[in-house]
Amino acid sequence: MIDLGAHGMYITEWFLGLPVKASSVFTQSCDRQDVKEKNKDGVEDNAVTVMGFKDGAIAVNETGFVSQHYPRILEIGGTEGRLILCGSKLTKITSATEGKAVDVQLLDSMPSPLQQFISGNILPGCGIKEASALTHMMVMAYAGL
């Protein structure tokens, strides 16, 4: 979760704030004899964390090196509809669209965190407050292990 799962964690915090509880399952699937590339470090390579929030929202963050050829996926669902980001395509299906799938234009990409650090132009959502929130969420994810 600490590696690729960090991206899903900070995105979850952007939408929902900090969770009040979390439960995780981590496995080491690439340590099996039938997998060609071994997990020499012995760290989890397949992880899921379920988080609960004060307002009753639930988030599931899944990451891993086990499944191949999956696009970047983000799904957000609620009482009025859902958003689905798959690869670089964003689709919304909401009450306002009468349940029909509508493509949403994505904004231009932001500079990478490294570019922001070098230029000194740290954009909103990429500062120490967000780093602290991400650390808090990771501690919660690993606390039950």
**Which long-range contacts link 51-59 to residues 24+ away (Cβ below 8 Å)?**
51/12, 51/16, 51/19, 51/21, 51/22, 51/137, 51/140, 52/19, 52/20, 52/21, 52/22, 53/16, 53/17, 53/18, 53/19, 53/20, 54/17, 54/20, 55/16, 57/16, 59/12, 59/15, 59/16, 59/19
pLDDT at 122: 81
pLDDT at 104: 94
Is residue 47 predicted with pLDDT exceeding 80?
yes
CATH class name, domain 5-143: alpha beta
pLDDT at 7: 86
Residue 84 — very low, low, confident or very high, per pLDDT cuts 50/70/90? very high
